Amino acid sequence: MNAWTAVVVAKPWRFAKSRLQTPDRARLARAFTLDVLEVVTQSAAVGRVAVVSAERGLVGEARRHQVALVADRPGGTTGGLNSAVSLGWHWAQRVAPHDPVVIVPADLPCLTPEILDVTLATMGRHERAFVPDLARGGTTLVSAVRPVELRSAYGPSSASRHERLGLVRLDGVDHAVRRDVDTLDDLAEARLLGLGPRTSAASADTPVATRP
């Protein structure tokens, strides 16, 4: 299989993670994004990366990692994550129309390059696939063997919608790919799985309580 195109979608940090009830919310959102960006650029399976965001702080990071920055609308797209995905989809079709593409939300701080590589190998066996999150019937990664085949329906209960769209559900992948972080309870569980270095540092003083 050809090298993957990874599209990382990230809200501006001041608007991201509204359910993360801590004054450190923006700092944590930044750390999540930078850890994810580091992972996808180190992945052996990924050949090119685009970040879709209106976050100005990502301009220098994109340059440092030598990845494309696709400008989202200021304040984020009115259609939420799916509008950002659409921008990345058009970019992927233009630069690599025959290569597999994966959408990677910027709130997966437990992800590692090795786990991503294994997950992409599994996703690449299917024309379209998705990874359900661990907690709320949502979705983390979405993939297609070619950009033109990509379908996405992020949002509440998106796992069910992705199944109805014909994407193959992949429950058996590593929990690090399924552990998105929206709440302090999520962050506590992510700590048990292992955090990326920036998230680990940014969350060191954030009190969390594990679920009983």
Beta bridge partners of 102: 6, 143
Residue 207, pLDDT score:
76
Return the domain boundaries, the chain: 4-202
Question: 204, exposed or middle or buried, with CB in 10 Å at 0-12, 13-18, 19+?
Answer: exposed
Give the Cα separation of 115 and 131 in Å (integer). Answer: 13
Residue 77, pLDDT score:
47
Residues 12, 54: contact at Cβ < 8 Å? yes
Residue 212, pLDDT score:
47
φ/ψ of 182, rounded to 5, equals -115, -25
Kindly report the pTM of this predicted structure. Answer: 0.94
DSSP H or E segment with residue 140: strand 139-144
Residues 84, 92: contact at Cβ < 8 Å? no
Residue 209, pLDDT score:
58
Residues 163, 132: contact at Cβ < 8 Å? no
Residues 206, 183: contact at Cβ < 8 Å? no
Query: 10-residue block means of pLDDT along the chain (212 residues)?
Result: 95 92 94 98 98 95 95 65 94 97 98 98 98 94 97 95 98 98 96 97 80 48
| 4-202 under CATH 3.40.1350.10, yes or no | no
